[in-house]
Amino acid sequence: MAVRNLDRLKARLAKIPAGVRAELSKALDQSAAEIVGMQKRLVPKKTGALANSIVATQGGERVKYSQGVGGGLGDPDLSVRISAGNSAVRYAHLVEFGTKPHEVGGLFEGAQHPGSRAKPFFYPPYRALKKRSRGRITRAGAKAAKQIAAGK
């Protein structure tokens, strides 16, 4: 995905004062924790491995073999990436979106797999809490900017 004016965005983000950055970072972390908590409550728990693989990483770093949202474009201090799955849990997308009935290959070649129902756990909480998170982050930035302007 190409982002127009990415250099200008990074330059503007670099000019944000440290006090505002700290408040924005706190708001980002709180929002990410809220989304991750709801995702962990909604995920089907057979062994708990999928629930344990849901994490929020600061700086938007990608977790290998995961599906995720957020992070990666702007300032690493002001980025959070929420992901589900890792090198041991590679089936998050199959649980989230389900599978169609299909013929299996490999060791059990020719066997019929009946498919599986989608059990959305990842994107619904993200969509439900996105507006709330944006508001929290905006309010935190405005509050910090007002405090700096007032000399506190």
In the chain, what are the domain boundaries?
19-149
pTM of the model: 0.83
pLDDT, tens digit, for every residue of 16-37?
Answer: 788 888 999 999 999 999 999 9
| Sheet (strand 80-84) strand order | 55-58, 80-84, 67-69
Return the closest-CA partner of residue 52 out of 71, 31, 70, 66: 66
pLDDT, tens digit, for every residue of 62-108?
Answer: 777 677 777 666 778 888 999 999 999 999 999 999 999 999 988 99
Query: Per-residue DSSP letters for 14-73?
Result: HTS-HHHHHHHHHHHHHHHHHHHHHHHHHS--SSSHHHHH-EEEETTPPPTT-EEES-SS
Q: If you average pLDDT over residues 130-134, what whole number do you get?
A: 97
Q: What is the pLDDT of residue 149?
A: 81
Give, rounded to a whole angstrom, the gap between the first and last alpha carbons of the chain: 40
